Structure formats: structure tokens, C-alpha cells
Amino acid sequence: MGLLQINNLHVNFPTKAGVVRASDGVSLEIKQGESLALVGESGCGKTIVALSIMRLLPEDARISGEIRFEGKNLLSLGKEEIREIRGREIAMIFEQPATCLNPVFTVGDQISEAVRVHNNCSRKESKERAIELMEMVGIPSPQKRCGQYPHEFSGGMQQRVMIAIALALSPSLLIADEPTTSLDVTIQAQIMELLKDLIAKFKTSLFLITHNLGVAAEMCDNVAVMYAGEIVERGRLSEVFEYPRHPYTKALLGAISNDGLRPIKGSVPELTRLPNGCRFHPRCPQAENVCRKVRPEMRFKVRCHLWD
């Protein structure tokens, strides 16, 4: 049994424009010690899957299916039970660290709070642990910077703080949602290297959400490609990237090929107005009549009528 198993996850949001089908039958698995990248364009529903695992969706979300973590269905747990798991066993690094850190509390207080809440230790002990974690994630002069506020840190340093908070309790699963998006290329490389080292040190499984295929290739063993609320292809990352089968996967990889950028024509459909048949067919140069009428099933880890 995997560490995390997502079975037929549906997440819908009622709106005036119609029902947003953000996750439409998503199924994934992450085993202990493995890393999985969920890739796709913005607006495909990737972050909704992560927030479903953390049980951080808005109250109007309509959710069904199963999310099993170490055998427990997270969707059936009460608020107190999920609080015990959130942070201690499953932690998350969010895309924009500046919006996640509280501007009126010092960085040291915010790291030590995560330790103190779950470990029932003294303020002194939790502060010592915060300094230790800041040093571990490469923040210079941690004793001094422990008393500083988030606005006194650069974007890269703020992301290091978020990593320290996420790994404070050595979780079994780390969810990283676009952890390098807002950073420049040099800092991105540093954060990726830091994450790889810490994941190996803590023996933590990784669920990485990204639209950056280079980051996915650098960080993960396995990959799932998401388009318009559903998984269209999954497998070992090396195999999927070398021998892509779904036209969308091929288009994603072709967009960053060695002979220059080749953007995919069109855009991701609105999740309130999904096309009939294959959801990628309006943008697919290979689409046939069956693609426009019949929604393909996932067969042999690919959702495509044309794959044989």
C-alpha cells in the first residue's frame, strides 16, 4: 500500500457561471520514499488536489472520492484529527511565501510555533529548534535573524523559512506547490538543491506541483500530467519525458524543446465549460471525430483514443 493514495477525487465549486469541476476523477499514488510531480499549465486544477490533501479547501467545495494517507481516509476525519496530521505528518510549502508568513510576528516565532504546537515543549526549546532549522536551510546568522520580520528577508530567504516550517516536525509527506516560481533562476537552483538534500536527510516523500518541467525532471522519480481537471498520463518520469504518449504531454515537452519555444495553440478550457469528448481535442492537431464525441478512459496510464 502506498503512503498516499488518491482514488477518484472529485472537487466541484458552485458559481454563478456554473459548476467549476476543478478535479474530475483524479487518482494518484505516492509510496514511502518516492517523489511525484504533478505537471500541467496554470488553471488545470493542480493546486486543488494539494489543498484537498491538506483539507484546506473553501467551505463551499463539494468533494468526493478518497484520499488515503497511511490507510486513513483524510476526507472522513474530524477537524481535530486532521490538525494532528497537518504539519506533523503532512506539510506543505506554498507558492508565494510572502503571503503565507505573518508580517507582525518574527520569523523565529513563526518557525518555533510549529514546533511548540505539536511537541508540547517550552518556548526556549522551540526557539532553539527554530535557530537549528534556520541554520539547516542555509539562513546566515540564524540567532540574529530569528528576531527579524518577514519583510526583512528576500524572496529566496522567505522560501527557506517556509521550508524550515514545513520540515520542522520531519513529516512523512511534503507537498511543494510551485516552490520556485517567484524566484530568479539562480535562487531557484539553490532552493531545488536545498530541498533535495533535506528530503534525503529527513527521508520524506515529495509531492511536487509545478508547470516547470525542468524542475520536475530535477526533483522527481514519477510524474502525472494534468489537463482540465483530469490526469491524462502518468508513469516513471524518465519514461514519460522520453517517450510521451498523450498529445498534451508531447505538446508540453515540445514547448521547451532545444530548437526554441513552441507555445501550445489555444488555452486551457474554462472548468465551467468543458468540451465534450477529449478535453484536449480543441487544441490537438491529431484529433479525430471520436475525440470530439467520446471522453477517453485511462488505459495503460494514458487517457487518449489515438494511443495504441
Which 3-state string (H, E, C) describes the chain? CCCEEEEEEEEEEEECCEEEEEEEEEEEEECCCCEEEEECCCCCCHHHHHHHHHCCCCCCCEEEEEEEECCEEHHHCCHHHHHHHECCCEEEECCCHHHHCCCCCCHHHHHHHHHHHHHCCCHHHHHHHHHHHHHHCCCCCHHHHCCCCHHHCCHHHHHHHHHHHHHCCCCCEEEEECCCCCCCHHHHHHHHHHHHHHHHHHCCEEEEEECCHHHHHHHCCEEEEEECCEEEEEEEHHHHHHCCCCHHHHHHHHCCCCCCCCCCCCCCCCCCCCCCCCCCHHHCCCCCHHHHHCCCCCECCECCCCCC
Q: Hey, what's the torsion of the CAs at 223, 226, 232, 235, to 10 degrees?
A: 10
Question: Which residue in this structure is represented by grid cell 537552483?
Answer: 189
> In this structure, are strands 18-30 and 4-15 parallel, antiparallel, or unpaired?
antiparallel
Q: What is the model's pLDDT at position 264?
A: 87
* Under 8 Å between Cβ of 73 and 66: yes
Q: What is the model's pLDDT at position 186?
A: 84
* pTM > 0.85: yes
* Under 8 Å between Cβ of 248 and 255: no
Angle at 48 between CA 46 and CA 54, to 5 degrees: 115
Q: What is the model's pLDDT at position 282?
A: 95
Measure the CA–CA gap between 110 and 262, rounded to whole angstroms. 43
Q: What is the model's pLDDT at position 287?
A: 92
Question: Which residue in this structure is represented by grid cell 471525430?
Answer: 289
Q: What is the model's pLDDT at position 117?
A: 78
Residues of the chain with pLDDT under 70: 1, 257-261, 308
